[in-house]
Amino acid sequence: MNATRKALAAGLAALSLLAVSACGSDSESGSTDEVEVFTWWAEGSEKAGLDALVKVFDEQNPDLKFVNGAVAGGAGSDAKNVLQSRLQNGEPPATFQAHAGAELTDYINAGQIEDLTDLYEEKGWNEQFPEGLLERLKQDGGIYSVPSNIHRANVLWSNPAVLKKAGIEANKSYDSLGAWIADLEKIKAKGIIPLSIATDWTQVHLLETVLLADLGAEAYNGLWDGSTDWAGSEVKAALGDYSKLIALTNTDRQGLDWPDATQLVIDGEAAFNIMGDWAEAAFQEQGKKLNTDYTAVPVPGTEGVFDFLADSFTMPVDGPNPEGTEAWLDTIASDEGQVAFNKAKGSIPASTTADTASFGEYQQTAIKSWSEDEIVSSLAHGAATSVNWLTDITAAVAKFGSNKDVAGLQEGLAEAAEDNKPE
């Protein structure tokens, strides 16, 4: 009895010593040739993209050592919590991933990331990124991050075989949501799911494209700077369309995530799906051919507008290794980095100087629109609003999903805008 207790106590003591020494060695890392890159890219195509990026980084900076600070889980929310506690404790990584645009607001207000305007000037980045993007990235006159990739949010995916079965012409172009909704009703009458959708954030994604389609790009942008009234009749009409569309979706949406919703289109159980162009990877993985097995066009009513979202990298204030951070941002902005990363991840380069001849068929169409279309910021993916605002909007949309109260939804959205809109 006594012997076991002693052994136990000794074991415990040894364990606690180990823990202490582990902490010690942890805080001693971060010598000047290490560059810790903090992301939530821990698996799948995102991990592949990061690996490709690291390869370019190692070639460009043989004397620097990349340290992977990826935190998996929760589509980035776990990583953001970890990151926040590190930033507040004054232990920032060399650089961290964040959605480009207004999602950076909180970091900027808290003085946690550096203004990169001078760096943009010095490196000539202002010339290589499209002006429309730079405009969307600017906050209080400064630019705080370097975009690594671009995704398009306003893409309508469809299955031509299903449309044919429902007696609707495939690849038909619609001028407005109204015409499209009329066709969706016909599809519903045939007992097919007209529009597939998944859990709350994909509903916010749908709402954003509906707002864009009904309000037009200018009024849509006005939603984020206060010049469009959330409580007004235009938004009311758009929410009416949104409500009609939700009624035309699969009822088990709350239990699904976006791959499940896209899969419904691939499997021919649903006719349409609105999702960002990362869905392209799902079609490709299953050997589907663009324009034969599936089509990808702008959401009806958003022709000529590119609803963008981007990942980007920042320079934390008082980072452990500013030169290393700069080297990483250099790699991100470089054409080699942009091409390597985006080919692996399935997105398109933000830089217009990158050589994109080797990109896939869908990406080519996106690259073309990227350089020609009007660029607006995505709501569901952090480009248009602060985290706080998006959280409030998501809550209002989630509530609508269960009570279907359009007036309540508009009230909730107007209140969210009132609480969060930039002064």
Of 269 and 293, which CB lies nearer to another protein in the complex structure? Answer: 269
- Whether the CB-CB separation of 145 and 113 falls below 8 Å is answered with yes
The tally of CA atoms less than 13 A away on the side-chain side of residue 40 is: 15
* CB neighbours of residue 344 within 10 Å: 18
Q: Is 109 in the site for another protein (CB under 8 A)?
A: yes
- Whether the CB-CB separation of 82 and 72 falls below 8 Å is answered with no
Question: How far apart, in whole angstroms, are the C-alpha atoms of residue 268 and residue 264?
Answer: 6
Nearest to 257 by CA among 200, 192, 194, 296: 200
Among positions 262, 369, 385, 394, the unique one binding another protein when judged by CB under 8 A: 394
- Report 269-288 residues binding another protein (CB under 8 A): 269
CB of 408 to another protein, least distance (A): 10
- Whether the CB-CB separation of 165 and 215 falls below 8 Å is answered with no
- Whether the CB-CB separation of 53 and 338 falls below 8 Å is answered with no
Q: Is 107 in the site for another protein (CB under 8 A)?
A: yes
State how beta strands 95-99 and 145-152 pair. unpaired
* CB neighbours of residue 307 within 10 Å: 30
Query: Going along 180-238, which residue ranges are E strands?
Result: 193-196
Q: Residue 45: left (phi > 0), alpha (psi -120 to 50), or beta?
A: alpha
Nearest to 328 by CA among 126, 76, 66, 99: 66
The one segment of 41-49, 83-91, 168-176, 313-321 that binds another protein by CB under 8 A: 83-91
Nearest to 293 by CA among 152, 164, 196, 155: 164
- Report 164-183 residues binding another protein (CB under 8 A): none
Q: Is 403 in the site for another protein (CB under 8 A)?
A: yes
CB of 74 to another protein, least distance (A): 8
State how beta strands 270-274 and 155-158 pair. antiparallel
The one segment of 20-28, 106-114, 130-138, 237-245 that binds another protein by CB under 8 A: 106-114
Q: Is 374 in the site for another protein (CB under 8 A)?
A: no
Q: Is 16 in the site for another protein (CB under 8 A)?
A: no
CB of 346 to another protein, least distance (A): 25
Of 336 and 411, which CB lies nearer to another protein in the complex structure? Answer: 411
Of 130 and 382, which CB lies nearer to another protein in the complex structure? Answer: 382
Question: How far apart, in whole angstroms, are the C-alpha atoms of residue 378 and residue 208?
Answer: 7
Nearest to 265 by CA among 114, 360, 159: 159
Of 196 and 321, which CB lies nearer to another protein in the complex structure? Answer: 196
Q: Is 201 in the site for another protein (CB under 8 A)?
A: yes
Among positions 65, 244, 399, 421, the unique one binding another protein when judged by CB under 8 A: 399
Q: What are phi and psi of 235, to 5 degrees?
A: -65, -35
Q: Is 387 in the site for another protein (CB under 8 A)?
A: yes
Q: Is 227 in the site for another protein (CB under 8 A)?
A: no
Of 7 and 110, which CB lies nearer to another protein in the complex structure? Answer: 110
- Report 233-272 residues binding another protein (CB under 8 A): 250-252, 254-255, 269
Among positions 51, 115, 200, 293, the unique one binding another protein when judged by CB under 8 A: 200
The tally of CA atoms less than 13 A away on the side-chain side of residue 118 is: 4
CB of 352 to another protein, least distance (A): 34
Q: Is 290 in the site for another protein (CB under 8 A)?
A: no
Handedness of CA 183, 213, 388, 129 (dihedral sign): positive
Q: Is 77 in the site for another protein (CB under 8 A)?
A: yes
Of 83 and 116, which CB lies nearer to another protein in the complex structure? Answer: 83
Of 299 and 396, which CB lies nearer to another protein in the complex structure? Answer: 396
Q: Is 401 in the site for another protein (CB under 8 A)?
A: yes
Of 319 and 412, which CB lies nearer to another protein in the complex structure? Answer: 412
Among positions 51, 106, 115, 293, the unique one binding another protein when judged by CB under 8 A: 106
Question: How far apart, in whole angstroms, are the C-alpha atoms of residue 97 and residue 42?
Answer: 12
Instruction: Summarize as ranges the residues that interact with another protein (CB under 8 A).
Output: 77, 80-81, 84, 87-88, 106-107, 109-112, 199-201, 250-252, 254-255, 269, 387-388, 391, 394-395, 398-399, 401-403
